[in-house]
Chains A and B, each alone.
Chain A
Amino acid sequence: MAELKVNGQTVNVDAEENTPLLWVLREHLGLTGAKYGCGIAQCGTCTIHIDGQPVRSCTYPVGALSGEEDITTIEGLSEDGSHPVQQAWVELDIPQCGYCQPGMIMAVAGLLNNTPDPTDEDIDAQVTNICRCGTLARVRKGIHLAKTKKA
């Protein structure tokens, strides 16, 4: 039994220690915003935040958490979809199939936590998620737009 702090709530989950955080979120807590894409921390569609830092949850064992960390998923990024990144994403109509977008948005929100005014080089280095539909050109525009917005 592990105690976790997810989106501001303390929850207890009965999962084997080596269960990746992704599957705890999805299958124990019903938070299906973070997606399964590769299981090896390559594609980024499972990205969530731990203490504000973007983490690929598909390879992060739940047993490695102490219970003190603040875990944030796309469902907890904002109450009403009003996070600057979400606003920018709606304004530029970025998602196509949308499956990778929760992870993309969390990666970008994490980037902006660390680097509020990122350059293209910062973006290239820190946002490495895969999108097969091909939203990448708009994603870059979305990042530059998001950094001008206030929550």
Chain B
Amino acid sequence: MADTIKLSRRNFIIGTGAAGLTIGILASCSNNSEDSAAPDQAANAEPNPEVNAWVHIAPDDTVTIRIARSEMGQGTLTGLAQLVADELDCDWDKVTTEYPTPGENLARDRVWRDFSTGGSRGIRGSVDYVREGGAVARAMLIQAAANQWEVPVGECSVEKGVITHGPSGNKLRYGEVAEAASGLTPPTGVQVKDPSDWKIIGQPVKRLDTADKVTGAQKYGADLQLDGMLNAAIKQAPKRGGTLASFDADAVMSMPGVRKVLQVDDTAVAVVADRWWQAKTALDALPIEWNDGEGADYSSASFETELDNALTADDAAVANMSGEVDAAFANAAQTIEATYRVPHQNHACMEPMNATAIWTEDKCEVWCPTQNGEAALGAASEAAGLPIEQCDVYKLLLGGGFGRRGMSDYVSQVVKIAKQMPGTPIKLLWSREEDMQHGFYHPTTRARCEGALDADGNLTAIKIRIAGQSILAGLMPQALQNGTDPFAFQGLLPSGVDERVEDQTLKYTFPALKFDHAMRNPPVRPGFWRGVNANQNAIYLECFMDELAHAAGKDPLEFRLTYMGDAPQLAGVLRAAAEKSGWGNDDGKSRGLCAFYSFGAYTAACAEVTVDDAGQLKIHRIVAATDPGYAVNPQQVDAQVAGSFVYGLSAALFEEITFENGEVQEKNFDTYNSMRLRDMPEVETIVMPSGGFWGGVGEPTIAVAAPAVLNAIYAATGKRIRNLPIKDQSLRDA
């Protein structure tokens, strides 16, 4: 029953598509003259001509669309294929997909451009050039047919991959002309379709990667099996900043299957064994001594005080300020103040971190789930001590990403292990306990919110002081601007100031406002966590807007709409969600609203809850509306929106990573819980693309999940929950 996958060194496919392909070899026969990997193609009887970088078409008309971004569940693979296929005018039923490798990308002058998959940019970041890729390939295929018929291109049309010469009625299939097309010079100036001509874009087609996911046939990195492969388990210094002092390999060398015990960097130790379970068992038995470093004393509880102090400290960077804030507060009929708190949280992808590598003196190859193939390649090259041209990375489908797999720490580790065992394939798989303890955590921040209302209950000024950790300071300090982190203000930024974050701007228009950030960085590595800082900032802004509405004696829907005059799309999604939910209905359910703009998309939610006398929360239903500009695949947008409530509400209800003496306390799902079916409300989505812009989908809705529910809890109980997670708090005052 054991199956060993023979992996092509060049072309490693992700098993998708109508052809029902499973993982294995799909050697593509590239016409690129630089391509000289003939040995791998020898087994391939069927030529599969490359029309251009995005499109291969086989004689049987199978269209292989090459996908640079990573598929981690968000559906980008299918969406990107739709974009190419629509411009190509091919038969969607004959589409399959393939990942080119990051090494191929570099060798071909980055023809597939950006491999990184984050920031809800998979579609919107590549929409222009992948559509152009499909359109150019279409033009080349028609040209090839026209050449064969010796007729003008203008007399030819194409539908579902069949080219027709109008005057004669002659027909040629794409598979019949692909070879000839591949030899043509790509035309320039090819126009992509007008949205009104889309046939595949905008359709709720099924995902291309479902079949193998319901039979167990889909292979993830954790499932990889190479000939002669050994398995590694790793343990990293449990305390922040700790290093490896010593370990007693002799104590475990005689345990079943153990081959080697070795150091990885100065922070970790790994056991390599025939099987992973043997490696983990030996690692658990291995005597290890650790050195304390900076961070050994770090505790979440003591950091609370530092963050509290930062709420009123002078050293804050102002990101958005307008109007006469001080005057508004001085003249206010009523001022309101509230402090909200969000803890560290872990991504906790279902598939623990893993990677597989083979290192020899002149080559290093890595198989891994990664959101950033090129970064993984760079990490592999550096760890291997080999030029990047002598390395490559073969991507697999990810068992969850959420931002965690944009980091390449586990790639670097496996290469360093493999380098100590030249020629032997090594698969490194982290335990769940390692995954929980060595994440790149959703940063902890808190906010002091202040509002000024006039005698009529109009908002005259709002201030939000964010205090807490900066992701950029932790991961890429070179990206800070004068020491400030624009991403800390996601969703709160002024428009027209910073192009990089123009998709994260505030869409309310307030008479006066001041948003600033007092950066406080604990010795905990932060990370981009699905939704990033929009999640915290939406809680701060949208729960506080709810507080202001109630203080003003106004309806929370109407109060919000008052300040959305310049953002009709935001008002549109809010109205849609409220209306469909039955906002204002007296049906025994309490409702809470939230609307937010992030990652270039407008999202809103209306949560319907009850809280019983014992304080037990039941979230009955959430109506969510999203306007991402264009919806490439509405049913997948629905899946992402609904899924966002699982991720966002798991965080709001349960998730908190805490530290004591530098060590993570929540080491597995027993203490770091995630929503189950019993916690999951019905989600009704309204996908309402208004056109004219390309917004994100995978992340924006996360931000509205917690505020909508928190505001609904207030509506039910009159009690504000301002500290997250909700888990241990009484929802009703005793």
Residues on B with beta carbons closer than 8 Å to the beta carbon of A39: 431-432, 668
* Chain A contacts with B in 12-32, Cβ cutoff 8 A: 16, 19-20, 23, 26-32
Q: List 6 A-B contacts (CB under 8 A).
A: A36-B429, A42-B668, A75-B217, A95-B210, A136-B677, A137-B683
When distances are taken between beta carbons in the complex, the residues of chain A under 8 Å from B256 are 16
Q: Check B216 against A132 for contact (C-beta < 8 Å).
A: no
CA distance in complex: A99, B399 (Å): 5
Q: How far is the CB of A46 from chain B (nearest CB, A)?
A: 11
Verify if A124 is at the interface (C-beta below 8 Å from B): yes
Distance from A36 Cβ to chain B, minimum over Cβ atoms (Å): 7
Chain A contacts for B72, CB-based, 8 A: 97
A-facing residues in B659-691 (Cβ within 8 Å):
668-670, 674-678, 680, 682-683
Q: Across the interface, do B220 and A23 meet the contact criterion of CB distance under 8 Å? A: no
Residues of B within 8 A of A26 (CB): 223
Binding site for B on A (CB under 8 A): 6, 9, 11, 16, 19-20, 23, 26-40, 42-43, 45, 73-75, 77-78, 81, 86, 89-90, 93-102, 105, 123-125, 127-140
Interface bits B206-241 vs A (CB < 8 Å: 1, else 0): 110111111111111011010000010000000000
Residue interface mask B30-74, A partner, CB < 8 A = 1: 000000000000000000000000000000000000000001111
Contact between B400 and A138 (Cβ–Cβ < 8 Å)? no
Instruction: Verify if B276 is at the interface (C-beta below 8 Å from A).
Output: yes
Question: Is the C-beta of B352 less than 8 angstroms from some C-beta in chain A?
Answer: yes
| Cβ contact of A29, chosen from B2, B209, B212, B644, cutoff 8 A | B2
**Is the beta-carbon distance between A93 and B349 smaller than 8 angstroms?**
no
A99→B676 contact, CB < 8 A: no
Instruction: Kindly state whether residue B113 has any CB partner on chain A within 8 Å.
Output: no
The answer to whether A90 touches B214 (Cβ under 8 A) is: yes
Report if A96-B639 is in contact (Cβ < 8 Å); known contacts: A19-B277, A27-B276, A105-B214. Answer: yes
Decide if B646 is an interface residue (CB 8 Å cutoff).
yes
Give 19 A-B pairs besides A89-B214, A99-B350, A100-B350 with Cβ atoms closer than 8 angstroms: A28-B2, A28-B275, A30-B1, A30-B225, A32-B223, A35-B223, A36-B352, A42-B670, A43-B669, A86-B214, A93-B207, A93-B639, A95-B214, A97-B400, A98-B399, A101-B213, A102-B216, A124-B677, A136-B676
- Look across to chain A and name the residue whose beta carbon is closest to the beta carbon of B213: A98
Q: Beyond A30-B1, A136-B675, is A81–B215 a contact (Cβ under 8 Å)?
A: yes
Q: Is B398 an interface residue (CB 8 A)?
A: yes
Q: Are A123 and B677 within 8 A (Cβ)?
A: yes
Which chain B positions have C-beta within 8 A of A16? 256
Known A-B contacts A43-B350, A97-B397, A131-B646; A138 and B639 likewise in contact (beta carbons under 8 Å):
yes
B636 partner residues in chain A, CB cutoff 8 A: 93
Contact of B277 among A27, A78, A131 (CB under 8 A): A27
Alpha-carbon separation in the docked complex, A40 to B432 (Å): 9
Q: A11 vs B75: C-alpha distance in the bound complex, in angstroms?
A: 38
Please determine whether A96 and B75 come into contact, CB atoms closer than 8 angstroms.
Answer: yes
In the assembly, what is the distance between CA of A137 and CA of B705, in Å?
A: 14
A132–B400 touching, CB < 8 Å: yes
Q: Is B340's beta carbon under 8 Å from chain A? A: no
Q: What are the 4 closest A-B residue pairs judged by CB atoms, nearest first?
A: A33-B216, A134-B643, A134-B646, A97-B73
- B72, B429, B643 — most chain A CB neighbours (10 Å): B643
For chain B, residues 436 to 470, give those with C-beta under 8 angstroms from any C-beta of chain A: none
Q: Are A99 and B400 in contact (CB under 8 A)?
A: yes
Q: Least Cβ distance of A58 to chain B in Å?
A: 10
Which of A35, A93, A127 has the most CB atoms of chain B within a 10 A radius of its CB? A93
CB–CB A138/B210 < 8 A? no
Contacting B210 at CB < 8 Å: which of A36, A93, A99? A93
Alpha-carbon distance A41/B277, docked complex (angstroms): 16
Give the one of B222, B277, B669 with max A CB within 10 A: B277
Asked whether B677 lies within 8 Å of A128 as measured between CB atoms, the reply is yes
Given that A97-B350, A99-B400 are contacting pairs, would A37 and B432 also be in contact in the complex, using a CB cutoff of 8 Å? yes
- Interface presence of B472 (CB below 8 A): no
* Bound complex: CA A137 to CA B274 (Å): 40
Closest to B702 in A: A134
Q: Are A38 and B222 in contact (CB under 8 A)?
A: no
- Chain A residues positioned under 8 Å from B213 (CB to CB): 95, 98, 101
Q: What is the bound-complex CA distance between A16 and B257, given in angstroms?
A: 11
In the bound complex, CA of A52 to CA of B632 (Å): 41
Judged by a CB distance under 8 angstroms, whether B549 is at the interface is no
Rounded to whole angstroms, the CA-CA distance of A132 and B209 in the bound complex is 18
The answer for the CA separation of A102 and B398 in the assembled complex, in Å, is: 15
B-side contacts of A139, CB under 8 Å:
677
Q: Which residue of B lies closest to A11 (CB)?
A: B1
Interface residue B694 (Cβ < 8 Å from any Cβ of A): no
CB distance from B126 to the nearest CB of A (A): 20
Is B109 interfacial (CB-CB < 8 Å)?
no
A73, B216: Cβ atoms closer than 8 Å:
yes
Asked if B26 is at the interface (CB within 8 A of a chain A CB), the reply is no
**A23 to B4, alpha carbons, bound, how many Å?**
16
Tell me the nearest residue of chain B to A42, going by C-beta.
B669
Smallest CB separation, B234 vs chain A (Å): 15
B496 to chain A, nearest CB (A): 34
CB distance from A7 to the nearest CB of B (A): 8
Count chain B CB atoms within 10 A of each CB in A77, A129, A130 and give the residue with the most.
Answer: A130
Q: Is the CB of B350 within 8 A of A37?
A: yes
Q: Give the chain B neighbours of A35 by CB distance below 8 A.
A: 220, 222-223, 350-351, 399
Judge if B12 is at the interface, Cβ distance under 8 Å: no
**Cross-chain contact A99 with B351 (CB below 8 angstroms):** yes
- B214–A133 touching, CB < 8 Å: no
A35 to B276 alpha-carbon distance, docked (Å): 13
> Residues of A contacting B206 with CB < 8 Å?
90, 93
- B613 on the interface (CB 8 Å rule)? no
Q: Name the residue of chain B whose CB is nearest to the CB of A27.
A: B275
Contacts of B400 in A (CB 8 A): 97, 99, 132-133
Contact B216 A74 (CB under 8 A): yes
Instruction: Please tell me if the beta carbons of A20 and B643 are within 8 angstroms of each other in the complex.
Output: no
Residues of B with C-beta under 8 A to A124: 676-678
Q: Which of B165-218 contact A (CB under 8 A)?
A: 206-207, 209-218
With an 8 A cutoff between CB atoms, is B264 at the interface? no
Query: Of B231, B402, B650, B670, which one neighbours A40 at CB under 8 angstroms?
Result: B670
Contacts of A27 in B (CB 8 A): 231, 275-277
B1: chain A residues within 8 A (beta carbon)? 6, 9, 11, 29-31
Q: Is A75 a contact of B676 with CB atoms below 8 Å? A: no
CA–CA, A20 and B281, complex, Å: 11
Q: Are B680 and A136 in touch, CB under 8 angstroms?
A: yes
Tell me if B210 and A90 are in contact (CB < 8 A).
yes
The answer, among A81, A100, A135, for a CB contact under 8 Å with B211, is: A81
How far apart sit A40 and B639, CA to CA, in the bound complex (Å)?
29
Q: Are B644 and A134 in contact (CB under 8 A)?
A: yes
Taking a contact as CB atoms closer than 8 A, the residue among B210, B643, B680 that contacts A133 in the complex is B643
- A residues in contact with B112, CB < 8 Å: none
List the A side residues contacting B209 at CB < 8 Å.
Answer: 95, 98
- Could you say which residues of chain A place their CB within 8 Å of the CB of B683? 137
Max chain A C-beta neighbours (<10 A), residue from B210, B217, B644? B210
Find out whether the CB atom of A97 lies under 8 angstroms from the CB atom of B670: no
For the complex, give the distance between the alpha carbons of A98 and B219 in Å.
10
In the complex, the answer to whether B207 meets A128 with C-beta atoms within 8 Å is: no
